[in-house]
Amino acid sequence: MEAQRHANIMNIVTEFFVVTFKIIWSFVLAGGKWFIRPREKSVEGQVCVITGAGSGLGRFFALEFARRRAILVLWDINRQANEETAEIVREIYREMNPSAGSSDSVQELPLFQLKVYTYFCDVSKRESVYSTAEKVRKEVGNIDLLINNAGVVSGRHLLECPDELIERTMMVNCHSHFWTTKAFLPKMLERNHGHIVTVASSLGLFTTAGVEDYCASKFGAIGFHESLSHELKAADKDGIKMTLVCPFLVDTGMFKGCKIRKEMAPLFPPLKPEYCVKQAMRAILTDQAMICTPRIMYMVTFMKTILPFDAIVCMYRFIGADKCMYPFLAQRKESTNNNESKTVI
């Protein structure tokens, strides 16, 4: 009995040192990536579903994947905007294969036919997600990459925001990730192959006043992503990769009017969507687990975990982040009032 107890202790000690070594080694590998850029994987011929592809980051993701010869499946609630994205993608395909339009030349087509598919889908409704996913399986086949990008913001103070808008924010920004993942993950598990990307926000890592519904939805999306990542690891499905994208405010017009203290503004400028997506693509194509853009967001997130709440409030006030959303909310309110006045007239 004593011998067995001693053996168990030795096993635990040995395992502890192995785990410690693995943790240290993970730091070494992560540090090494700062000096040696990892090789990007190929997505040529792979099927990529992008939600919210009609505008903003979704459109730029579509363009970047098209340049890498992926087969694109574009989802959006705005049919016209989605078709506009698809037409830009087709133009990219034509530029990469200029001989395709000439019968006299020898066409150097890839082994697959580059295509882009468009689907109307309201990701806030699970029935719409499931039916659209079924169409994709029948018309396109199994997918390889799922980019959960669709997002909305109500732009209202909590007590002024209708319940329907709060629910829609949660449905689009968070719940839709459950529906799309449930629709496509089973085949990924069968093949032990795939990549799921969650486009969240820095406001899913730390918060500010006036956007409670948006912050809650992004916190939820990040929690879902991290739990699913652990579940895939627990199931030894190492062929399915996960990437979490947490950008700072992106200059897509979504938070137009948002301002911090003018002296601090140069340190935290709104991100250009092209830059944001290029950074995210680098993370996706190197199987990076998470990317915050700009890098200073890592420091802000770390400080939030160690500082007392009152210290965070002081820091927010110094930067001007405590009420940075108020100009944006005021603009939204004015715009809503003007639209309502026009409707009455």
Question: Closest Cα partner for 72 from 62, 58, 82?
Answer: 62
How far CA 332 is from CA of 57, 253, 257, in Å, comes to 21, 11, 9
Q: Hey, how many other C-beta atoms are within 10 angstroms of the C-beta on 328? A: 20
Residue pLDDT, tens place only, 65-91: 999 999 999 999 999 999 999 999 999
Give the pLDDT of residue 263: 81
Q: Calculate the CA 338 to chain-centre distance.
A: 33
% of the chain with per-residue pLDDT over 70? 91
Report DSSP letters for 282-315, one per residue.
Answer: HHHHTT-SEEEESTHHHHHHHHHHHS-HHHHHHH
Give the pLDDT of residue 339: 58
Instruction: Mark the ranges of the chain whose per-residue pLDDT is less than 70.
Output: 29-34, 98-112, 337-345
Give the pLDDT of residue 80: 97
Query: Residues with catalytic annotation?
Result: 214
Give the pLDDT of residue 160: 93
What pTM does this model have?
0.87
Give the pLDDT of residue 342: 47
How far CA 259 is from CA of 262, 265, 330, in Å, comes to 8, 8, 12
User: Is the backbone of residue 52 left (phi > 0), alpha (psi -120 to 50) or beta?
Assistant: left
Question: Closest Cα partner for 136 from 73, 69, 71?
Answer: 73
Give the pLDDT of residue 341: 44
For residue 345, the SS3 value is coil
**Helices marked H in 2-115:** 2-35, 56-67, 79-96
